[in-house]
Amino acid sequence: MNYSDALAYLNGLQRFGIRLGLENILRLVEAFGHPEAAFRSVHVAGTNGKGSTAAFTNGILRAAGFRVGLYTSPHLLDFRERILVNGHPIAEGELAALTTEVAGVIDRLFASSPLSSPTFFEAATASALLHFARAGVDWGVIEVGLGGRSDATNILQAEVSVITNIGLEHQEHLGDTLESIAAEKAGIVREGGSVVSAAEGAALEAVARIVREKGARLIRVQDEYRVRYLGRSERGETFRLVGRLREYDSLQIPLLGRHQIVNATTAVAAAELLEEQGFAVGEFPIRQGLASAYWPGRLQLISARPRILVDGAHNPAAIQALRSFLEEERLSGCLLVFGVLKDKAWEQMLKTLASLTSTVILTRPESDRGAEPGTLADVAAQYFAQVRIAETMAEALAAARILAAPEDTILVTGSLYTAAAALRALGFTSIF
């Protein structure tokens, strides 16, 4: 296979949809000699913020001098973004060779039962683990795809398990209550392991119950870490943190929004746990790692006049955090470009954003699961005085620029797939 063939093969596996369970991934990694055992790992689950927390953790471990693999999903512009080693995406040729190997094993193991073939995510996960093992990483920072307990990444024996926060999502797979979803996400907790969580309320108690059952140790971020907000600039957020091991007088992160401070604090808690376990981390790598973290598509400022902000918020909790940020900014004017997946709580998301603007331009995200703009329009009209439909993101941004004054803000949100479409329309071909 060449690179294009590899992408075509992986994307072809999407026809098998989402299939939770560890049977397929265990068969794959066993065939490759268990590459996940070749490195230590930090395993990150949660509803929102798990990608940012993984990026902060990756930055800290790299600043401490470790060779680090980072596995996240979905990607924005290029599949290779999912599989990084020391900040560099897997090369096209390496991905092609890995995919050829993985495809060969799939053909051999599943020839008698092709309908039970591994899914896109299972094949991608096997490829990432194999790449990290062969690249000789010291650490893998691995983001859960969906849930936790039955997610393909849950074959790891992680040194630290991280659960960022918990909200209602993927109820068809994870359950209808916060408690049931929390129990699924807490499935990444290891017997006798160490766990960091920024969850709250009933969800946190569900996590705590499972931690107790497994004889693990739980660090509750909201209880054991004290944050004092120091301010914001175009370069990000600054805050003071009192941790369990030391005080950090002034920490800087390049990501915007107070919710990112929670994610950064969660990463610090994970790093301090590793330090307690004897791994050489320390204050300077924590400072440098947070300051150097890179995670595009999350309150990403693209231009200044008008200001264009691209954010991948894709559920009500993330949209609420986005609204809080924009309310703090006291915008002179805002226009919303919105695209969403059809299985999301998009009416609640639109309703939450309606206090920011009277104008919404509805468009379609880059996904087969994208909601048709026309389907959203009648509901959107209940909350916005002006509702427009644009068939493509390029058309949506062009319309927004016509409507916007130089001092206004054009906000593009609703899905990471919408964020990706915006970046492409704005001329980005890579996030690196």
At residue 174, the pLDDT reads 55
CB 261 within 8 A of CB 227: yes
This model's pTM is above 0.85: yes
Low-confidence ranges of the chain (pLDDT < 70): 168-176
For 26, the enclosing helix (H) or strand (E) is helix 23-31
Strands 40-45 and 160-163: parallel
Backbone angles phi, psi at 160, to 5 degrees: -140, 130
At residue 419, the pLDDT reads 97
Q: How many residues does the chain have?
A: 432
At residue 322, the pLDDT reads 96
- Domains of the chain: residue spans and CATH: 3-292 (3.40.1190.10), 300-425 (3.90.190.20)
Structure tokens at 289: 């790692």
At residue 183, the pLDDT reads 84
- What are the pLDDT digits (tens) for 29-73? 999 999 999 999 999 999 999 999 999 999 999 999 999 999 999
At residue 116, the pLDDT reads 85
For 229, the enclosing helix (H) or strand (E) is strand 226-233
For 253, the enclosing helix (H) or strand (E) is strand 247-253
At residue 166, the pLDDT reads 84
Contacts 24+ apart (CB under 8 A), 170-177: 170/146, 172/343, 173/18, 173/20, 173/146, 173/147, 174/146, 174/147
Strands 83-85 and 88-89: antiparallel
Structure tokens at 320: 């609420």
**CB neighbour class for 333 (10 Å; exposed up to 12, middle 13-18, buried from 19):** middle
- What are the pLDDT digits (tens) for 166-213? 875 555 445 567 777 888 899 999 999 999 999 999 889 999 999 999
Q: What sections of 214-280 are H helices per DSSP? A: 221-224, 258-276
At residue 44, the pLDDT reads 98
Strand ranges of the sheet holding 334-338, from the earlier edge strand across to the other edge = 300-304, 307-310, 409-413, 334-338, 359-362, 386-389
Nearest to 67, CA basis, from 156, 143, 134: 134
